[in-house]
Homo-oligomer: A and B are copies of this chain.
Amino acid sequence: MIDYSQFEQWVRDNVKVWQPCNIYPSASIGRNVSIGTFTEIGNNVVIGNNVRIGAMCFIPEGVVIEDDAWIGPRCTFTNDRFPPSPMEGWEPTIVKRGACLGAAVTVVCGVTIGEGALVGAGSVITKDVPAGQVWAGVPAIPIKEGKDEYSKTS
């Protein structure tokens, strides 16, 4: 599972990986990243700096998570909208800088979750979430705009 040759770099970059985890060696992990127990990060996944990945997340090939994003425990990403497709049919997913996904969110592939967006716990994301918006539900829809209310309650 773990490519132990990564350990030296992870220590240098302040990456914490709680074991057991399954991180493919071709995944790119930024600095100051924390990755929870029982998480799988697939081939060629890109994780930015200062990202927090919760426990039990599934992040397959095709997913990019930018700097400062926060991914709650048990989030599930996908790369195949109509499985099983050949790899050419897979679709990328991007979580932009500072976006925040609550616990147990499922993300159908091919979408972008905008900068600073928030997704409520247990939601299923099936389309793009614009920057700064708050979405929740199955499928998720906007529940309020902006972060003012968020700022007041957090």
A residues near B, CB below 8 A? 1, 18-20, 22, 36-38, 40, 52, 54-56, 58, 60, 70, 72-74, 76, 78, 81-85, 89, 100, 102-104, 106, 108, 118, 120-124, 126, 137-139, 150, 153-154
Contact = CB atoms under 8 A, between A and B. Distances in A.
Contact of A52 (B73, B84, B108, B124): B84
16 contacts: A1-B37, A18-B22, A22-B37, A52-B84, A58-B103, A70-B83, A70-B84, A78-B121, A81-B153, A82-B154, A83-B100, A83-B102, A85-B154, A102-B108, A108-B121, A123-B138
Nearest to A19: B1
Given A122-B106, A124-B121, A100 B84 contact: yes
Please state the number of chain copies in the assembly.
3
A39 B70 CA distance: 21
A122 B121 contact: no
Contacts of A120: 108
A72 B78 contact: yes
